[in-house]
Amino acid sequence: MPIEINQTVKIMFEVRVDGIVVDGSRSNKPFEFQFGVGQVIAGLEKRIINMKSGEAADILVPAAEAYGEYDPAGIQTLPMKQFEGIKDLKIGMQIQAQDADDQPIQFIVKEITEYEVKVDFNHPLAGKDLEYKVKIDSLL
């Protein structure tokens, strides 16, 4: 029987990108989520919907169904004055802020000059296929 929308699903999982582990179940405790309400990427939900409790699988979620393709337009150069309140600004730093509509945004600092900061608004996993090892722990 397929997993149903709003059903609580508990999974043990590991995610690899290019063979490197980037995420997974913490402390051997299953990750719990409500199915079909956007708590996990749609590409994963689409691939586990017919799995049963106790079942395990290796699943490949292509970038387009994970965090999207990498968009070069996500790179922007901003004036240094917008970063005045940030101590120890460094290349590679992930910064969380709010956009003009007070919505949360996240970006990564790519370059810093005396007057400008180049940032990347793409998700860090944009453009990456995700390799999952998943085991359905339980369906509630």
In the chain, what are the domains?
8-68+126-139 (3.10.50.40), 72-120 (2.40.10.330)
Amino acid symbol at 96: Q
pLDDT band of 10, cuts 50, 70, 90: very high
Helix or strand or coil: residue 124?
Answer: coil
The answer to pTM > 0.85 is: no
Q: What residues does 60 pair with on adjacent strands? A: 131
Per-residue confidence band for 85, with pLDDT thresholds at 50, 70 and 90: confident
Each residue of 20-39: pLDDT tens digit?
A: 999 988 778 899 999 999 99
Query: Which residues partner with 109 through β-bridges?
Result: 119
> In this structure, are residues 24 and 105 in contact, taking their beta carbons and an 8 Å threshold?
no
